[in-house]
Amino acid sequence: MTAPLFLCRGLTATYPNAARPALKGVALEMAPGERLALIGESGSGKSTLARILAGLPPEGLRVEGEILRPGGEMRLGRDVGYVFQDPGGSLDPLLSIGGHFIETLRSHLPLSRREALARAAGLLAKVRIPDPEAALRSWPHRFSGGQRQRIAIALAMAPGPRLLVADEATSALDALVQAEIVALLRGLGEGEGLGLLFVTHDMGLAAGLADRIAVLHEGRLVEIGPARRVIEDPQDPHTRRLLAAHLDLDSPRLVGEAP
């Protein structure tokens, strides 16, 4: 039996001077290669949970409970790739795209500059950036928001992580580009054991991407299960409210399926 990437028990997290905890007794685990969506409204605790699991807890956050990584240490950057909502959080405007990859790859892997650039070109092709070699010589401002997010995803994947965390990675994009990014994330790592933790408030996007959906409300995990079961037979009233806001419950259809 394959060891999970992580499992947490009784996870509670509280920000300084907060009136209530951001997370309350969360129990969750994730298998290698699994695509798990964390769903919830703003303030539900989903991004806080994702950052804790990625090893990137917000400053001052007090965390209680147990987090185990039976499959081995999970180092941010090397074993865990993180994609932020705004690709500006990942891309330095004063550094070329190639410079980003050289810096990231050579800090984690024993590669020469030439080897790092060759690997970067392959990754940019994989995320469908046109003319990867030219892109490596360009600067972040020359790309659209959707292209910058694709580059940020490639950069997060560059060292070969076991877990990719996409934290509201589509919410700043228009609907068409959101669908393209979701399709890209769905295809990444297939057959390679890459786990994907997808954080979103949009049930429709998660439905077309995730193997399982975990629903958070006011810091509590209120429902978790296979994506289709959660969509077609939600058990918690809050899950039903989220679905009503994003999907036609009389005819639930996963993103990317034919009408």
Residue 254 has pLDDT above 70, yes or no: no
* CATH number attached to the domain at 1-74+162-259: 3.40.50.300
Query: What is the rounded average pLDDT of the residues 86-105?
Result: 91
pLDDT of residue 187: 86
Say if residue 50's pLDDT is above 60: yes
Ranges for all domains in the chain classified under CATH 3.40.50.300:
1-74+162-259
63: how many CB neighbours lie within 10 A of its CB? 16
Task: Give pLDDT tens digits for 153-184.
Answer: 999 999 999 999 999 998 878 888 888 888 88
Could you give the angle at the alpha carbon of 87 between the alpha carbons of 204 and 79, nearest 5°? 85
Read off the pLDDT of each residue in 105-110 and give the average, rounded to a whole number.
96
Q: Does residue 127 have a pLDDT over 90?
A: yes
Residue 253 above 60 pLDDT?
no
Q: Enumerate residues 6+ apart whose C-beta is below 8 A from 122.
A: 132
Mean pLDDT of 207-218: 94
Q: What is the mean pLDDT of residues 218-247?
A: 93
Look at residue 247 in the predicted model and tell me its pLDDT.
59
Q: What SS3 class is residue 72?
A: coil
pTM for the full predicted model: 0.91
Query: Is 258's pLDDT higher than 50?
Result: no
Q: What is the share, in percent, of the chain residues with pLDDT greater than 70?
A: 93
pLDDT at 251 over 80: no
Window from 13-22, 146-155, 229-238, 248-257 with minimum mean pLDDT: 248-257
What is the DSSP secondary structure assignment for residue 201, as one 8-state letter? S
Q: Beta strands of the chain (E only): which ranges?
A: 6-14, 23-30, 35-39, 62-68, 80-83, 163-167, 195-200, 212-217, 220-226
* Mean pLDDT on 70-89: 88
Kindly state the average pLDDT of the residues 76-92. 88
Long-range contacts, 213-216 (Cβ 8 Å, 24+): 213/36, 213/37, 213/39, 214/28, 214/36, 214/37, 214/38, 214/39, 215/39, 215/40, 215/239, 215/242, 216/26, 216/38, 216/39, 216/40, 216/44, 216/45, 216/46, 216/49
pLDDT value at residue 149: 93
Assess whether pLDDT exceeds 80 at residue 88. Answer: no
pLDDT at 257 over 80: no
